[in-house]
Chain A
């Protein structure tokens, strides 16, 4: 394996087809060391196909992919010795106790479970729970087991498919804290998710995939900065002239209420409305969801 300092994950023209169905098309992607990378797309967009190629479960039809400097086809075993993987909708060994299942997977990994205790604390999986058989676990507990088995050996790269699926809000917070720990430790995380607020919250960069093609790859802040924000204000007396505010469009006046859509920087707008006549002001935060939906709205428009 090459000692690549650059990308932890790199794909070049990666493609995968099943017969005439194109699951991935000419995908170029780089995930840098130490970043938390979000991989977004609806069901069937190609997220799982991409992850399964990285793990060596699927063989690419075109292009190449490297993980931690190794080729996913040639160096798959070496790659898997350095990563942790949480499959979507994880299945575990029902007949084993939680602890035995973790011990077994740790033995197969060939590395000591150095982070298990800390992860169990974060996710509230005490020894009494780990003594129970996996078949008696709830969906949320199985998901917590999935996170623990993926990260207990402190992998250099964690590949997590829908990591908070089935976790209650409290445990989601626990998971976000774990991601924070990984970030602080310089580990790289590649995670797919349907939960856009989650990606927005924990990821440094995000890729949006549609019909197997990469549609966007940005830092989360860049993506948010380009998004439209809904603004609403209430005004005492005659409505101010907002036509001079750069980026403000779709302005509508209804009595004392004014609404519109703001693109880009909010500062000029705030300066324009700073007045004793301003009764109320709401600027909705830019949401990744809007960015995401915009890519798919374009897709819908393309369909005849």
Chain B
């Protein structure tokens, strides 16, 4: 473990981490407020038959139950953007970005193996992602407490939601790291990682809105992030296993490719 590298990787992200944690916390606090304010109105709209129920759902979330609302908050594009800054941006900047800027060769001329470099960056990304997911979950908890609906929430299950969220984003982070170690430039690595994220999101939303395309959800990592099911005690261990596998495969790829690839002089 290189603590200097670990500390510096975190230090480079500290300002945006602080800002995004505060914003994520505030955004998540609003979700229970929206739930208490609009869930009755949404139910009336559904009962009126004006809109089918599916159109008032988003991904695996909805506004009919607190668990559904919290799920919606965690799968909302805003929440995804908050975490993606660190799950995708940081891995790309830490390796492909340094390679492109030319600082990677100064770093790797020190007694740091590429395996160790990878491990330290991966650990730093995991910490960053975990902190933002924690801010999202704690923000929701604070919102639930503020609007007085704590009786609708099983607090003991929140750590499972946190773990499920961290696992989801660790899977995206490990994919981004694999793209990062395989590329000489940040642009292609970022494009590939964002494409992977958007494709997963597209499959999840498409399947949730269109019955004929429901099968696409099985191929989305977002479909295995199920805060609603976890909060209602219906957790499926397979979701955790699939996310873990989606995290491990890119890690294995990176650990094989990174030490073996040639690092030619930066252009």
Min CB gap A65→B, angstroms? 15
Given contacts A76-B113, A80-B109, A108-B5, contact A87 B262 (CB under 8 A): no
* Chain B residues numbered 84-107 whose CB sits less than 8 Å from any CB in chain A: 101-103, 105-107
Size range of the chain A interface in the assembly = 20 to 34
Q: How far is the CB of B185 from chain A (nearest CB, A)?
A: 14
The verdict on A91 contacting chain B, using a C-beta distance below 8 Å, is: yes
Query: In the bound complex, do residue A80 and residue B111 qualify as a contact, i.e. CB atoms below 8 Å apart?
Result: yes
- Inter-chain contacts of B108 with A (CB < 8 A): 55-57, 80
Chain B residue numbers with a CB within 8 Å of A85 are 105-106, 109
Contacts of B2 in A (CB 8 A): 108
Taking CB atoms, residues of chain B closer than 8 Å to A57 are: 105, 108, 262-264
Q: With A77-B112, A78-B111, A80-B109 known to touch, is A52 a contact of B263 (CB < 8 Å)?
A: yes
- Which B residues are within 8 Å of any A CB, using their own CB? 2, 4-5, 8, 12, 101-103, 105-113, 260, 262-266
* A276 located at the interface, meaning its Cβ lies under 8 Å from any Cβ of chain B in the complex: no
A177 to B12 Cα, complex, angstroms:
36
Interface string of A226-263 (1 = CB under 8 A from B): 00000000000000000000000000000000000000
Q: Is the CB of B113 within 8 A of A105?
A: no
Q: Does A90 contact B (CB under 8 A)?
A: yes
Q: Which residue of A lies closest to B109 (CB)?
A: A85
**Is residue A169 contacting chain B, with contact meaning CB distance below 8 A?**
no
Pair B4/A107 contact, Cβ less than 8 Å = yes
Given A59-B262, A77-B113, A108-B2; A87-B102 close (CB under 8 Å): yes
Cβ of B263 and Cβ of A58 under 8 Å apart?
A: yes
Q: Is the CB of B113 within 8 A of A104?
A: no
CA distance A301 to B14 in the complex (A): 60
Residues of A within 8 A of B262 (CB): 57-59
For residue A89, which residues in chain B have a CB less than 8 angstroms away from its CB? 102
| Residue A304 at the chain B interface, CB threshold 8 Å | no
> Which chain A residue shows the least CB distance to B102?
A91
